[in-house]
Structure 1
Amino acid sequence: MSAPNSKTAERPGLEAQIQRNPHPDFRKVERERPPFESDISWKYTQIPKTDWKIGDGANDTEWKKHKKIQIDPYGDSRKPVDNYKTLISAVTPRPIGFVSTVNRKGERNLAPFSYFSVVNHDPPLFTIGFSGGLDNPKDSAKNVIETGELTINIISEWFIEAANFCSTNSPFGVDEWKLSGLTPAESTIVKPPHVAESAFSIEAKLVTHHEWKSKLDPNKSTGTLVIVEGVNFHVREDVINDDLNIIDIAKLKPVSRLGGITYGRSITGYESLRPDYEKDVVNVNKI
C-alpha cells in the first residue's frame, strides 16, 4: 500500500466540510443499539390503503399540518455542502454503484458511489457521478475516462462492511481490494475484475463523460458524470429465475444508501398493479 502523501489532503469532494458522522463517539452509540437481525427474511405486506380509489389522493392527512418552505440552492448564506447534505438525505433510498477499475499501469481500484443509476435497457446504460472535476478526479473517474472500462457490482448485506471500507480516502494507487478482503473475479470483456461476492455484476464500457462547473464559481469544476454501457452481466445462479430475467430480491438482499453515514435494508415490500387507462378510468366513468 502506498504511503499517504500531500495529495491525500487535496482529494476532490466535500468530505472535509461534510462531517458525515453526527455522533461524538460513534462506536459507543453503535454498541448501545440492538444487534443486526440476521434472521429477518423478505416479506410482502398489503399496500397502505387497499381500498384506494381514483382521485383519493394521499392515504394520510399528516401533510396538511405542515407548510413547505423554499430553499434557494444558490442563496447567499447557502453553501454547496448544504445542498449535498439535503439531496443525499432526501433522494432516498439510492442504489450503490460499487465500481471496479484499473489504471493504465494495471493497478486496481474499488470504490462505492451513490450517484448511480440505470437509465436505459437497450442498450443497457448506467450513469455514475463522481465529485471533483477532470483537473483533480476521483481515482475511479480517472481510470474510467483513461481506459474506458469498469465493472459495477451490486452491494448485498453479506459484504457491506468490506464495501463500506472501500470508501476510505486512500491515496491514488492504493489497492482497496486488499484493504477490504474482497475477491476479484476475472471479467470476460473488460480488464477490471468484478467482485466475486456480488450476486450481480456488470462489465461496462465508457460511452461519454461530462464535467460540471460550479454555478457560484464557473472556473471551478465540481463533478464528473460518466455514461457507461453494460456489455456483459454476471449473476449468481441461485438469485435469478429460470428465464434469466428476474432477480429475487429476497436472495439479493440489496443495500441502499441513505443520508449521512446511513445504509438501508430492503426487507419488506408491497405490490401495486399499474393502472390501465381504458379499463380503470374510461370504463369506470361510463358506469
Structure 2
Amino acid sequence: MTFTPEHPIASATTPNHGAPPGTVECTVSNSVATVRLNRPERRNAISRALMTDLADALDRIDRDPSVRVVILTGTGNDFCVGRDHASAPSTRIVRGKCPVDDRASLRAASAVIERLIAMRVPTIASIRGGCAGGGLSLALACDLRIAAESAVFNSAFVAVGFPGDLALPWLLTRVVGTARAREIMLLPEKLTSASAFELGLLTEAIDDNTLDTRVGILARRFVAAAPLAVQGAKLNLDAATTRPLAEYLGDEIDRLIAVASSKDAEEARVAFLEKRTPRFVGR
C-alpha cells in the first residue's frame, strides 16, 4: 500500500522510494482521506494483496484524528469489478485447493467489510465504470454511494457459479430491502446507474463530468460538521438495524448526553447566537 499523508501527524510514514505502487493508494489532505483501489490493469479486481492493503489503509485512517471523511474510489476507469477470475491462483482470495486456507483468507477479506462499515468517520464511495460482486460489497459498506451515469452494477456471483461473499446478501438486504435484495442477488444482470438509483443502491447518480466535484462538496460538508455528532449519528444508525428499541434508546440517550457536554456543542450554540459558521474541533 502507498500511503501519502499531507499533515504533520503522519509525516513520518516511510516513503515509497520509487518502489512500484501498491494495490491501494491513500492520501490525506484537508481532513479528507482518499483511498484508491489500484489495480487498473485488472479493473481494480479483488486480490489477496488488495484486501490486505485496504485493511491497512483503513486502520491507518481510523487512527488518524485529523481525518473527518473517507472517499473510496478506483484508479482508472472502474471502481472494482469483484473477483479476478483471470489472475494467477496465488493472488486469489479463494484458491479452491485447501479449505482451511480459503476459510482464513475469506475471513480476513470479510473483516475488511466490517472495518469499512465501522469506520468512525463517514465514508463515500465514488463510483465510475464497473462495480460488481465484491466491488459492490465495498460500495454498499460505505455510508454514501455517488456514481457516474456511465457506471454499471452487477451482483454477478450466481452468474459465475458462486453463492456470494464479502457480505453482499447481508448488505443488499439492509440497503434495498429483502425483496429487492433477492431479485438483485438471484437474478444478476447489469444495472445502469439510473436503474441502481431507482432500486435504492445509490445515494446519487450524476453526470460523469461532475462526479468528482459532487463528491468533493459532500466531503467538505463532513469536514465542516461536528465530528462527535457525526460519529454518534453513525453509531445510532448502525444500532438501529441490530438492537431492540429499548436497548437502542438507552445507547442513544447516553451518546446525546456525552456530546451535549462537549466543547463542540457549546461552540454550536454560541455560533448560532452570533450568526456565524461554527468551528468544530472534535472535543
Same fold (TM over 0.5): no
| Between structures 1 and 2, the one with greater helix share | 2
- Greater strand content: 1
Decide which structure has the larger Cα Rg and report it.
1
Taking structure 2 as the reference length, the TM-score comes to: 0.25
TM-score of the two chains, using structure 1 as the length reference: 0.24
- RCO comparison, higher one (Cα < 8 Å, 6+): 1
